[in-house]
């Protein structure tokens, strides 16, 4: 009988910002330093601390002044996002050599389905190869967790840092996971774990005991409690859908005109039509945008892009239209135009404005979407002509 158990890797780059800083400036290697603030100022907070600094009690989110009081010789390095983006791209491209089923957890961590790759090579051998390869090629240390679900893989990668490889099978949950402090459980927030501890729930194992369930339900819903329990016991998601959170960076539409056009009203009419089409896609994909703009190309092939950033993310058609009309009036100089375009930038999922993505919402959002779909379907089946979808348009 075929084994249907998935093999999920969670690959976590160790002290990523600090690692990047040490790659750029080898002098920092094996030194106690932090990324955050600036090299000339004591202001700001620690973004990442090197492992040497962590041994001294310095950690992320700590005030730079407090860190310097602990260790006056502490080196501070400014944040360098372009450097992190460069090595993040190298990291994800490296992982793609082993699997195409990847979910980017953040700039420095990846959930990877290694089920197929493990058919020809042992998962531990693959993990060692990845770990050694990232160090050899890019000087990027990482820890890897191997398990049958995303949550367990995430927990496993946190068990040994830096440069650890941990296998967490379902039969290992009681021995390896249960003894961990409840504050170390992924998904339990900084405000929640002290409340759980106050109730006598000090370990992950405590949380699973029936005797503590009633107490836990005083600070969380039944649904949340069950979701946490499913994650702990290995009953949560083992599906990595790379496309699920792959949203476009922008939504746009453009058209080359049949003839050169210099009539403002006619050009604006086309811009409105393009905006309507662009807006339809935004709404259909449940996205919102904060920046709207137009693209104009003249007969000399000179192209200009002009945009306006709104105060809030929105999917309101009239807000986009008002901004586009103003942009056009301020930038069109009555020259003949051969191409017109409209674009929406700073695009995010509408639900992400209220709900941060994590492994728990990943599963719960799927359940919610299915529930909403079934409700709508039931209504439509019962009253086929009473419901319809629409978007805001202007006449």
Identify the band that residue 387 occupies on the pLDDT scale cut at 50, 70 and 90: very low
3-class state of residue 307 by DSSP: strand
User: For 21-36, how does the pLDDT look when each residue is reduced to its tens digit (9 = 90+)?
Assistant: 999 999 999 999 999 8
Identify the band that residue 45 occupies on the pLDDT scale cut at 50, 70 and 90: confident
Rounded distance, CA 147 to CA 135, Å? 23
Query: For 15-19, 156-160, 200-204, 262-266, which range has the lowest pLDDT when averaged over its residues?
Result: 262-266
Note if 109 is an active site residue.
Answer: yes
Average pLDDT over residues 50-68: 93
The DSSP letter of residue 177 is I
Question: Per CATH, which fold does 175-232 belong to?
Answer: DNA polymerase; domain 1 (1.10.150)
Structural domain boundaries in the chain? 1-168, 175-232, 246-395
First to last CA, the chain: 63
Q: Where are the beta strands (DSSP E) in the chain?
A: 8-13, 33-35, 48-49, 75-77, 102-106, 109-113, 142-147, 165-168, 250-261, 287-298, 303-314, 337-345, 348-349
The pLDDT of residue 384: 55
Q: What is the mean pLDDT of the chain?
A: 86
> Can you read off the two tokens belonging to residue 314?
């929105």
Beta bridge mates, 111: 10, 103
Rounded distance, CA 394 to CA 387, Å? 22
Instruction: Quickly tell me which residue has 């939504």 as its tokens.
Output: 251
% residues pLDDT > 70 (the chain): 85
The pLDDT of residue 373: 47
DSSP state letters, 29-59: TTS-EEESSBTTBS-SB-SEE-HHHHTTT--
Rounded distance, CA 306 to CA 323, Å? 11
3-class state of residue 392 by DSSP: coil
Max CA pair span of the chain: 77
In order of 25, 112, 134, 280, 385, the CA distances from 137 in angstroms are 17, 20, 5, 45, 61
Q: Write the secondary structure of 64-114 as one string of H (helix), E (strand) and C (coil).
A: HHHHHHHCCCCEEECCCHHHHHHHHHHHHHHHCCCCCCEEEEECCEEEEEC
The pLDDT of residue 352: 62
More confident call, 229 vs 368: 229
User: For 131-184, how does the pLDDT look when each residue is reduced to its tens digit (9 = 90+)?
Assistant: 999 999 999 999 999 999 999 999 999 999 999 999 999 999 999 999 999 999
Q: What is the dihedral of CA 192, 193, 198, 202, to 10 degrees?
A: 150
Q: Is the peptide bond before 162 cis (omega within 30 degrees of 0)?
A: yes
User: For 318-352, how does the pLDDT look when each residue is reduced to its tens digit (9 = 90+)?
Assistant: 999 999 999 999 999 888 998 999 999 988 887 66
In order of 190, 349, 377, 386, the CA distances from 374 in angstroms are 35, 21, 5, 16
Of the candidates 52, 109, 263, 369, the residue annotated as catalytic is 109
User: For 232-256, how does the pLDDT look when each residue is reduced to its tens digit (9 = 90+)?
Assistant: 999 999 999 776 655 667 899 988 8
More confident call, 43 vs 56: 56
Distance of CA 58 to the CA centre of its chain: 26
User: 1-168 maps to which CATH number?
Assistant: 3.30.70.270
312 and 280 in contact (C-beta within 8 Å)?
no
310 and 319 in contact (C-beta within 8 Å)?
yes
Q: Could you tell me which CATH class the domain 246-395 is placed in?
A: alpha beta
3-class state of residue 128 by DSSP: helix
Average pLDDT over residues 306-316: 90
> Can you read off the two tokens belonging to residue 254?
């453009």
């Amino acid at each position: 009988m075929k084994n249907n158990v998935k093999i999920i890797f969670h690959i976590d780059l160790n002290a990523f910002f600090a690692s990047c800083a040490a790659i750029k400036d080898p002098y920092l290697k094996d030194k106690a330093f932090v990324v955050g603030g600036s090299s000339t100022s004591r202001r700001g907070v620690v973004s990442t601390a090197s492992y040497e600094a962590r041994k001294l009690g310095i950690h992320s989110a700590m005030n730079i002044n407090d860190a310097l009081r602990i260790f006056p010789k502490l080196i501070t390095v400014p944040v360098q996002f372009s450097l992190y983006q460069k090595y993040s791209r190298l990291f994800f491209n490296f992982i793609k050599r082993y699997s195409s089923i990847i979910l980017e957890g953040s700039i420095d961590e990846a959930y990877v389905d290694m089920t197929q790759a493990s058919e020809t090579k042992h998962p531990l051998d693959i993990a060692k190869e990845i770990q050694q390869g990232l160090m050899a090629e890019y000087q990027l240390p990482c820890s890897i967790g191997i398990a049958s679900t995303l949550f367990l893989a995430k927990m496993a990668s946190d068990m040994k840092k830096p440069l650890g490889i941990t296998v967490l099978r379902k039969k290992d949950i009681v021995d390896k996971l249960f003894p961990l402090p409840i504050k170390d459980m992924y998904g339990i927030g900084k405000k929640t774990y002290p409340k759980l501890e106050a109730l006598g729930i000090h370990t992950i194992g405590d949380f699973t005991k029936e005797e503590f369930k009633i107490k836990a339900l005083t600070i969380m819903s039944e649904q949340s409690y069950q979701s946490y329990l499913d994650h702990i016991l290995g009953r949560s998601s083992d599906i990595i859908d790379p496309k699920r959170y792959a949203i476009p960076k922008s939504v746009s539409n453009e058209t080359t005109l049949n003839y050169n056009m210099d009539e403002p009203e006619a050009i604006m009419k086309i811009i409105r039509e393009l905006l309507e089409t662009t807006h339809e896609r935004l709404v259909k994909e449940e996205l919102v945008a904060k920046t709207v703009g137009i693209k104009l190309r003249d007969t000399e092939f000179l192209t200009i892009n002009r945009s306006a950033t709104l105060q809030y993310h929105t999917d309101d058609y009239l807000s986009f239209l008002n901004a586009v009309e103003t942009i056009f009036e301020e930038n069109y100089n009555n020259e003949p135009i051969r191409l017109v375009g409209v674009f929406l930038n700073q695009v995010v999922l509408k639900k992400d404005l209220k709900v941060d993505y994590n492994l728990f919402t990943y599963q719960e959002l799927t359940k919610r979407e299915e529930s909403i779909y079934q409700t709508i379907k039931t209504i439509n089946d019962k009253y086929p002509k009473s419901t319809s979808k629409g978007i805001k348009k202007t006449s």
